[in-house]
Amino acid sequence: MKKLLNIGFLVILSGLFLVSCNDDEDYQTIESIGKIKIDSVKVMNDTMDVFTIQSIKTYSTYPSHCEGFYGYDYIYNANLERTVTSYKYITNGPCAQGSYVGASQINFSPQKKGTYIFKFWNGGNNWITKTIVVQ
């Protein structure tokens, strides 16, 4: 019986090893990350209550389908000003040609009352400015 258990355990371990060593190359590797300008911004409400959540959508045009949204650089200061820069990834695989517009969002949840100024990077020294009053 002990020998049968040892053989069964060995078969299970061998199966796990074979599964874990499967070289599935059906994925693309991120080659680089870089800034991408934000073309437009959609703020649903320019007035909101403190401690509520509002989604702020940003739209960017990606030159090819090998590129997509990676993340934001979201910097805030003590004067209720926020600067937002969007970043894209670039992959190494085959992809559909042609540009497309991608949407991303920030969930804004203010912790204190005031007038918040958002500046979204639009390339160079250009910024899209949006104001949200929090009551």
What is the per-residue pLDDT across 44-68, written as a single tens digit (0 to 9) for each?
999 999 999 999 999 999 999 999 9
* Count of structural domains within the chain: 1
Q: Is residue 71 part of a domain?
A: yes
Please write down the long-range contacts of 67-76, taking CB distance under 8 Å and 24 or more positions apart. 67/36, 67/91, 68/102, 69/102, 69/104, 70/33, 72/104, 72/106, 74/106
- For residue 4, is pLDDT > 60? no
Q: Is residue 60 part of a domain?
A: yes
**Which domain covers residue 52, as residue numbers?**
29-134
Q: pLDDT per residue over 62-92, tens digit each?
A: 999 999 999 999 999 888 999 999 999 999 8
Q: pLDDT per residue over 19-43, tens digit each?
A: 545 555 566 788 999 999 999 999 9
Q: Is residue 94 part of a domain?
A: yes
**What is the CATH number for 98?**
2.60.40
Q: Is residue 57 part of a domain?
A: yes
Give bridge partners of residue 84 from the DSSP assignment. 74, 120
